[in-house]
Amino acid sequence: MVLFFTFFATQYSGNTVVGYPPTAYRLGYQYLVSVPFFIMIIMVYLFFAPRLYSLGRRFSLLTPVDWIDLRFRSKRVSVLAAILMLYGLGNYLLEQFVAIGQGVSGLTGGTIPYQIGVIFFIVIMVAYSWLGGMRSVAYTDTIQGLALLFGVFTLLIGSLIYIGGLPSAAATMAANAPQKLGAPTGKALTTWFCLLVLVGIGAAIYPHAFQRIFSARSERTLKRSFIRMAYMPFLTAGVVFMVGIIGISAFPDLTTAQSEQLVGMLANALANQNAFFYWAMVLLFGGVIAAIVSTADSVLLTFSSIISHDLYGRYVAPDASEYRKILVGKLVGVAAVVVLVLIAWYPPGTLYQIFVLKFEVLIQTAPALILGLYWRRLNTQAVFVGMLAGTILAAAFTFAGYRPLGVFSGLWGLSLNLLLCVAGSLLFGASRPSASAPKRSSPSHRRRQRPARSECPDRVPPTPLRVAYRTRLRHWRRRVRLNAFSFLSPFPQPLLAPSFPSRSALLGTAVPYSRVS
Amino acid sequence: MKKRITEPVKKPAVWIGFGVLFTLVTPWYFPAGSWSPLFWGIPYWALIIIAVSLALSLFITWVVLYQWDTGADETEDER
């Protein structure tokens, strides 16, 4: 049951609750795409997660950049991919800040302005991380999931009772805006298709989601979570979509900017009905704030770990102490939050635009991450050129507002990216032996890899030292997961990524078996 | 005995299934802008999309349960 709420809370990021209903309000049934695109994410996962998980096990991978580095052995590719991921994560954080500002402002009918909402959130986030610590994670996830589940369903039921159900919303749409009710055509249909592809691939390769594949306890756990997540969208995206549709009959003539505060306005309208709804809405917003804080915290953790582990620790100062690496990661993370707050002060567009812009860039890392798993001839230079060209094209099209054939700029960028990757690899072949996919034939990889059972079925049973190593690795992964909440801990100990003894250090020492087993 | 490793990406049935469901989950096959009849205030085409989405979820469950076994956990299980 706790696991169920954890998943529930994971998928219900604050933005899902606050940002999706306004979009459904503006687009009508054309935003029904939000249900299948969440399912698409799992579909995309199934094409790469199985192999990636077993590689992660074999090579003790932690971050997506770990994988890119292992696969391509190229500083340029790794750094570029890390920068694109940092951009995507930064954008994701920004989205959460804006969501809470809009939510609080809408709930209080503008009494608390948007900017104060953002500041309020930052204060809560710092206090939460400061006081929370590791032990509270499991409880907070459950309570947060319960609050959200209860709050969102009460919001839906209350809206159905007091505002009118889907039939009255349909009547309003049929009279005022039949395009919101009709099957999408032309540009709307292309948008539907683009969102399916863009979100399906983009959200699957989110660095913090990607890390969850590596940190899964076992293949069985991973499978179970995928199955649950395949049905979750009906309860999460489906419910908030209905809230947005009901909003059409409740507040028929909102401008785009006003509609951003739809959830707050609906909740406000319900809270005025009676004490039960009042407290249910308080609970809903408590859940939303908790969801945003936990999402923001884990995103910040991934952000800092990419800085400390992948950029600073790998390329800038590989010899720096673990503490120093983590400190650098934390400080850059805090600096990024400051910059994002400045941007969130005057949000660049509606939540929907921020959302798409994030995937436009993030999706450019997909060929390196996914194609690299299966195609051994994939050329490192081609990947780099493709990623760079795809990003530039996507950014240029986005800023110019240019959308040929109605297709999103990120998909044009991805097409160019893929074309360059494939053409470059076919023309020039694999760049060098060590850069091929980490298969058995590569000598440099054979040294690093732990022999898989499938390769040597009659291998000796695991020694106690090996078992001790696996156990410690598992504990360490768990600590990294739990530490999501101690990102802003005032204590200087390296909580963020506790140092893990290297395999050789552990297996090479002459510790008597009796002491470790 | 060496265990058979199965990955969804190598199964033609998985590609075909996802291809078909992806095609159906994009509402290109409805008459432009049509919404009648409504069921409980929901346009007919939206109900069909929801049904196809559910089929996609069911297909994903089948793929996860029967088409994915890389044996990555075997070393763990031996303990």
> Across A154-158, A255-259, A457-461, which has the greatest mean pLDDT?
A154-158
Smallest Cβ distance to B41: which of A36, A57, A165?
A165
What residues contact A42, with CB distance under 8 A and at least 6 apart?
A226, A229, A230, B60
Q: Is B68 on the interface with A (CB under 8 A)?
A: yes
Smallest Cβ distance to A51: which of B7, B14, B18?
B7
Please provide residue B73's backbone torsions phi and psi, each rounded to the nearest 5 degrees.
-90, 0
Smallest Cβ distance to B33: which of A168, A169, A182?
A182
Contact A39, B53 (CB under 8 A): yes
Cβ separation B35–A178 shorter than 8 A: yes
Cα A117 from Cα A104, distance rounded (Å):
6
Nearest-Cα distance to chain A for B32, in Å, is 6
3-state secondary structure of B66: helix
Residues 13-52 of B with CB under 8 A from A: 14, 18, 22, 25-28, 30-35, 38, 40-43, 45-46, 49-50, 52
Best residue in B38, B73, B77, B79 to probe A by mutation, most A CBs within 10 Å?
A: B73
Confidence of residue A485 (pLDDT cuts 50, 70, 90): very low
> Taking Cα atoms as reference points, which of A52, A298, A31 lies closest to residue B9?
A52
Max intra-chain CA distance, chain A = 81
Q: Give the pLDDT mean for A86-94.
A: 82
User: Measured between beta carbons, which residues in chain A are less than 8 angstroms from residue B38?
Assistant: 167, 170
A338 pLDDT above the threshold of 70:
yes
User: Measured between beta carbons, which residues in chain B are less than 8 angstroms from residue A185?
Assistant: 32-33
A399 pLDDT above the threshold of 80:
no
Q: Is the peptide bond before A461 cis (omega within 30 degrees of 0)?
A: no
- The structure tokens listed for B46 are 């939206």
| CA distances from residue A327 to A149, A320, A489, A491, B8 in whole angstroms, order as listed | 37, 11, 11, 11, 41
Cα A270 from Cα A249, distance rounded (Å):
15
Cβ separation B2–A454 shorter than 8 A: yes
> Taking Cα atoms as reference points, which of A126, A115, A111, A116 lies closest to residue A347?
A115
Cα A93 from Cα A355, distance rounded (Å):
11
- The structure tokens listed for A222 are 């991973």
Q: Give the pLDDT mean for A87-114.
A: 75
For A252-300, write each residue's pLDDT tens digit.
877 777 777 787 788 888 887 788 878 888 787 777 777 777 777 777 7
Smallest Cβ distance to A35: which of B1, B35, B50?
B50
Q: Look at residue A314 in the predicted model and tell me its pLDDT.
A: 79
> Across A74-78, A459-463, A479-483, which has the greatest mean pLDDT?
A74-78
Contact A50, B10 (CB under 8 A): no
User: Measured between beta carbons, which residues in chain A are less than 8 angstroms from residue B42?
Assistant: 166, 170
Cα B72 from Cα A214, distance rounded (Å):
12
Cβ separation A470–B76 shorter than 8 A: yes
Cα A381 from Cα A403, distance rounded (Å):
28
Contact B49, B27 (CB under 8 A): yes
